[in-house]
């Protein structure tokens, strides 16, 4: 690794160490129109990061897997009762299967549920990109729920979805420090 690469790695690891010691929480915010709301985006803009070689044993503290927590639910916010968003909770686990911070980018995809398909994913309904990425320590803390040790994203959509419909929610995490991580959860709207 050249001196630029070593210096860049050193700066990023210092920022990572400093951020994990910060105290913060997730502001309840406003579901729609507030600063914590993640609006709908156009087609996916896959983040491409040059991979940074993180030395042992620090690499053991980086995310090795992610999970969409069962606390993830749809939310109803209008008088008509249409589902208007998803409160997504995402956990990141390190090599010791302990909760850890995830520095990178999250993308979420919502598909209809199609039972016979091996992945159960049917028609793509929505895509959300979390912008700016969680590489920025302030943005990372904005979504971090300290008491639950996981990330909380409030995803909105404009089309009402009937209560009781089954969906597949996929989370994709990309980072310059780890391999690309994905997970999915099947859930029923309104539950």
Average pLDDT on 38-46 reads 47
| Count of domains for the chain | 1
- Of 53, 63, 27, 43, the C-alpha closest to 138 is 27
Mean residue pLDDT of the chain comes to 78
pLDDT at 141 over 60: yes
β-strand 105-113 against 73-76: which pairing, if any? unpaired
Query: What's the rounded Cα separation, in Å, for the pair 15 and 137?
Result: 8
pLDDT at 77: 54
Q: What is the pLDDT of residues 56-101, one digit of tens each?
A: 999 999 999 999 999 998 876 566 655 578 889 999 999 999 999 9
Burial class (CB in 10 A: 0-12, 13-18, 19+), 150: buried
- Region of poorest pLDDT, from 44-53, 75-84, 170-179: 75-84
pLDDT at 9 over 90: no
Q: Residue 142: enclosing H or E segment and its boundaries? A: helix 137-143
- Region of poorest pLDDT, from 39-48, 64-73, 123-132: 39-48
pLDDT at 28: 33
Q: Residue 9: enclosing H or E segment and its boundaries? A: helix 3-20
Q: Domain span at residue 8?
A: 3-188
């Amino acid at each position: 690794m050249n001196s630029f690469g070593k210096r860049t790695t050193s700066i990023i690891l210092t920022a990572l160490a400093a951020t994990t010691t910060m105290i913060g929480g997730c502001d309840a915010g406003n579901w729609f129109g507030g600063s914590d709301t993640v609006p709908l985006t156009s087609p996916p803009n896959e983040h491409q990061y040059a991979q940074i070689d993180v030395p042992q044993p620090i690499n053991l503290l980086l995310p090795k897997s992610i999970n969409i927590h069962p606390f993830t639910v749809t939310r109803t916010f209008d008088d008509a009762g249409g589902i208007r968003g998803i409160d997504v909770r995402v956990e990141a686990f390190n090599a010791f299967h302990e909760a850890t911070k995830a520095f990178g980018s999250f993308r979420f995809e919502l598909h209809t549920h199609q039972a016979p398909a091996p992945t159960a994913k049917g028609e793509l309904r929505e895509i959300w990109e979390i912008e700016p990425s969680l590489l920025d320590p302030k943005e990372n803390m904005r979504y971090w729920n300290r008491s639950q040790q996981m990330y909380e994203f409030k995803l909105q959509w404009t089309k009402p979805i009937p209560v009781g419909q089954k969906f597949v929610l996929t989370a994709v995490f990309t980072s310059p420090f780890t391999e690309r991580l994905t997970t999915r959860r099947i859930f029923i709207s309104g539950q």
